[in-house]
Amino acid sequence: MDDNQITPQFIEAMVDRVIDSLTQKLEQLDISIDYLAAALLDTDAFTVGATQKTRGRAAPKKRAPHHEL
């Protein structure tokens, strides 16, 4: 490939391909981690994934309300 073929559009297309590939790998890893978490929590991977989607991945545990004296 000569330098004349390396256009901004070509670079953008290559970056998009790399990002797509990385995104797919991260999604596969996330699913695998959901299965591990489900095994540790004695639940199923669907429940783990659904909870993450609704409450966030690192959702803090709900705290008891703070009562003022």
Would you write out the chain's pLDDT as a tens digit for each of its 69 residues? 777 788 999 999 999 999 999 999 998 998 888 889 889 989 888 888 888 888 876 655 555 555 554
Residue 4 has what pLDDT?
Answer: 79
44 lies in some domain: yes
- C-alpha to C-alpha distance for 38 and 52, rounded to whole angstroms: 12
3-state helix, strand, coil in the chain (%, to 5): 70, 0, 30
Residue 44 in tokens: 């199923």
Residues spanned by the domain of 29? 23-52
Query: Does the pTM exceed 0.95?
Result: no
Buried b (16+ CB within 10 A) or exposed e, 57-69: eeeeeeeeeeeee
Is residue 33 within 8 A of residue 45, CB to CB? The reply is no
Total count of domains within the chain: 1
62 lies in some domain: no
6 lies in some domain: no
